[in-house]
Homo-oligomer: A and B are copies of this chain.
Amino acid sequence: MSNKEVEVVFQPEGKRAKVPGGTNLLECADEAGVDIKSDCGGKQVCGKCKVIIEEGADSLSSPTSKEREELGEDLDEGYRLACAAEVGGNVLATVPDESRRGKQVILTEGLEVDFEIDPPLKKYRVEPETPSLADDTPDFERMRNFLNSEYGTQVEDIEHSTLKKLPRVLRDNMGRYEETFTASVLDNNLIRLEKGQKEDYYGVAVDIGTTTVVAYLTDMRTGEVISISSTMNPQVKYGEDVMRRVTMSFQEENGMEKLNKVIVEGLNDLLGEVCEDAGITRDDIMEVTVVGNTGMHNLFVGIHAEFVSKSPYVQAVGRSLDLTPKESKIDIYEGGNVHVLPTIAGWMGADTVGCLITTTPYEQKETQLMIDVGTNGELVLGNEDRLIGASTAAGPALEGAHVKHGMRAAPGAIQYVRIDPSTYEPKLDIIENEPARGLCGSGIIDIVAEMVRTGILQQNGRFNKDLETDRVRKSKAGKGNEYVAVWAEDSGIDKDIVISLEDVREVQLAKGAIRAGSNILMDEFGVETVDEIALAGAFGNYIDPTSALIIGLFPEIDRDKVNMVGNAAGIGSRLALIDEEKRKEAEWLVDEVKYYRLAAHEGFDMSFAKAQWFPHTKKDELYPNYDEILALREEESEL
């Protein structure tokens, strides 16, 4: 075999490598950037690296005996083991799906998520015969037949704008087919046909939060996020909280139109930003996936939302939606798709589904409690056997709302607090080291935990009035006492920044709701402890698990069994964009998660009352190692 350079092309991507003769196809694939499974490391024994030789079979090295054994009859069908076959001339090979390596990508600090790069939307290189009088199969049917015979891909429909241009796109000026095209197929639908080889294509995963909207521009070939942009949800101007907006949507004239218009415009602006950043055009974006709570979902899709906001909180649709760019008014490639993830029940929305396909409790033996703290607190408890869930009206306080000096995680927000147990003086960490303007979610949990640990707060949430410090004082504005975190002269707002009894009360209500919800789910599930906790939500990455344990936000658990999964809903949107299996899981979850209505649960009120204490009225029973947790914190604080 000569050493001359040869070219190897891998289908369906059409990726190419130029290599010296004698290189094996597995190395060629690596060179071309095509991922082929090779579990045995190229030793010709695992049989995973099968490829189909389309052209140039004769120029390959003869099949080895191991190869014959591994492939059997497949050998006659044109299969070779990539790790065995060495090239001696140009080769065109197809890499079947089964031989492709799934990728494992670490998406967030707290979590490794397994997924395959297997987007529902796929591109294929097509090289059909030009029609003739003897073979006058219509253009669409010709593409369909090629995709079916070459890739086993079923195509049934063709998107309307694609059809209209099809005859022209296919042909050169002489009326004959060009040689190579790229077909984009989504759900058996030919949604695009481009001249030549257009390997790259893009999608955008979107997370519509009540407060923040994030867009992740994704390279669909690699799953890589190549640009992120976020913005405040422009609906905020109509109301900070989701219920106000939903109410406006049906009470105010053209309320829905206004709310829908601003979020659509906001999204289109974000898409424009990520495109500009990445140097692509809107027309390059083929698909968008969307998660959001039920309110955001309805206002984005334009669904009449009156009745999902009133008992019995029934949503219009559970299953996922596929909208055209026209229907959704999202400005991407006109034949593209906007996929909205499904919702589980009333207010357990597409955001929770996004979290679950990220934390995947259904794939493990260990029991996971997933807590998504956002506008509400959503809880899902379960493992591979079953999943149960509940919503709590818990979120806002923990995100800084309803707390007098609460604020978003922005410059000037206190995000970390430690209190000296002898002097009651606080040590603070403020975002961007600006003069403090308030406390963000993690700061609130920190400060309350530290007030509990240092005895400023009693177990029942009352202030201890007998402390030797002017930081604890009678509240100037409201009732009861308050703790001064920052004196006016050091603050950025020329006022003392305080945590009042009322603020503590808000935290108690919020954490009590989540804790009581967890308890009821654990009762229903028949467990007394959980094996792991996944903490999701915009502030999930910042919250200190020890502080959360001190206030009793969740059941007692080893600190390293608490995973901060960050914006898991957004990650779920990304996963759904690039992994078809994840969409199926999402759809499956709708029926799979049994949803409990806490309000309807007999024991809820009592459980709720008990869970408002720090960490709980049944502290000794539920937090047997509470003192160790406090000790751990003390050690940390001393560092």
Residues of A within 8 A of B (CB): 131-133, 136-141, 158, 160, 163-168, 171, 175, 301-308, 310-319, 321, 323-324, 326-327, 343, 345-346, 595, 597, 600
Please judge, given known A-B contacts A175-B307, A175-B310, A600-B133, whether A318 and B163 are in contact too, CB under 8 Å. Answer: no
Partner of A312, one of B132, B166, B316, B324: B132
- Nearest first, the 5 A-B pairs at minimum CB distance are A140-B317, A131-B314, A138-B318, A168-B304, A133-B312
Chain B, residue nearest A303 (CB): B164
The contact sample of 14 A-B pairs, CB cut-off 8 A, is: A131-B312, A136-B345, A136-B595, A137-B318, A140-B318, A158-B317, A164-B303, A165-B304, A166-B303, A167-B303, A167-B306, A167-B314, A168-B304, A168-B306
Please judge, given known A-B contacts A318-B141, A326-B326, whether A133 and B308 are in contact too, CB under 8 Å. Answer: no
Partner of A307, one of B158, B171, B324: B171
Partner of A316, one of B140, B305, B313: B140
A101 CA / B313 CA spacing, docked (Å): 44
Chain B, residue nearest A597 (CB): B133
Chain B, residue nearest A164 (CB): B302
- Cβ-defined contact, B138 with A311, below 8 A: no
Chain B, residue nearest A139 (CB): B316
A306 CA / B139 CA spacing, docked (Å): 13
Chain B, residue nearest A591 (CB): B141
A602 CA / B131 CA spacing, docked (Å): 21
A165 CA / B302 CA spacing, docked (Å): 9
- Cβ-defined contact, B317 with A139, below 8 A: yes
Partner of A319, one of B140, B171, B346: B140
Contacts of A600 in B (CB 8 A): 133
- Cβ-defined contact, A138 with B326, below 8 A: no
Partner of A304, one of B158, B164, B319, B343: B164
Chain B, residue nearest A166 (CB): B316
- Cβ-defined contact, B314 with A139, below 8 A: yes
- Cβ-defined contact, A160 with B318, below 8 A: no
Contacts of A321 in B (CB 8 A): 163
Rounded to whole Å, the gap between the CB of A245 and the closest CB of chain B is 16
A600 CA / B312 CA spacing, docked (Å): 71
Please judge, given known A-B contacts A132-B312, A133-B311, A312-B132, whether A166 and B304 are in contact too, CB under 8 Å. Answer: yes
Contacts of A319 in B (CB 8 A): 140-141
A137 CA / B141 CA spacing, docked (Å): 41
Chain B, residue nearest A314 (CB): B131
* Given A165-B304, A167-B307, 14 more pairs with CB closer than 8 A: A133-B311, A133-B312, A138-B317, A139-B315, A139-B316, A140-B317, A140-B319, A141-B317, A163-B301, A163-B303, A167-B304, A168-B307, A175-B306, A326-B326
A141 CA / B320 CA spacing, docked (Å): 12
A175 CA / B306 CA spacing, docked (Å): 9
Contacts of A326 in B (CB 8 A): 326
Partner of A308, one of B167, B303, B307, B317: B167
Rounded to whole Å, the gap between the CB of A295 and the closest CB of chain B is 13
- Cβ-defined contact, B160 with A312, below 8 A: no
A318 CA / B167 CA spacing, docked (Å): 13
A158 CA / B133 CA spacing, docked (Å): 42
Please judge, given known A-B contacts A304-B168, A306-B168, whether A138 and B597 are in contact too, CB under 8 Å. Answer: no
A326 CA / B161 CA spacing, docked (Å): 12
A399 CA / B327 CA spacing, docked (Å): 45
Contacts of A158 in B (CB 8 A): 317
A304 CA / B140 CA spacing, docked (Å): 13
- Cβ-defined contact, B163 with A314, below 8 A: no
Rounded to whole Å, the gap between the CB of A540 and the closest CB of chain B is 28
A141 CA / B344 CA spacing, docked (Å): 12
Rounded to whole Å, the gap between the CB of A328 and the closest CB of chain B is 9
Chain B, residue nearest A135 (CB): B312
A317 CA / B327 CA spacing, docked (Å): 25
Contacts of A168 in B (CB 8 A): 304, 306-307
Rounded to whole Å, the gap between the CB of A468 and the closest CB of chain B is 52
A167 CA / B311 CA spacing, docked (Å): 13
Contacts of A305 in B (CB 8 A): 167
Contacts of A171 in B (CB 8 A): 307
Contacts of A131 in B (CB 8 A): 312, 314
Rounded to whole Å, the gap between the CB of A602 and the closest CB of chain B is 14
Chain B, residue nearest A171 (CB): B307
Rounded to whole Å, the gap between the CB of A312 and the closest CB of chain B is 4
Contacts of A303 in B (CB 8 A): 163-164, 166-167
- Cβ-defined contact, B137 with A314, below 8 A: yes
Contacts of A343 in B (CB 8 A): 138
Please indicate which of the listed interface residues A304, A319, A597 has the most CB atoms of chain B within 10 Å of its own CB: A304
Contacts of A312 in B (CB 8 A): 131-133, 136
Rounded to whole Å, the gap between the CB of A177 and the closest CB of chain B is 10
- Cβ-defined contact, A160 with B327, below 8 A: yes
A318 CA / B157 CA spacing, docked (Å): 11
- Cβ-defined contact, B314 with A136, below 8 A: yes
A133 CA / B136 CA spacing, docked (Å): 60
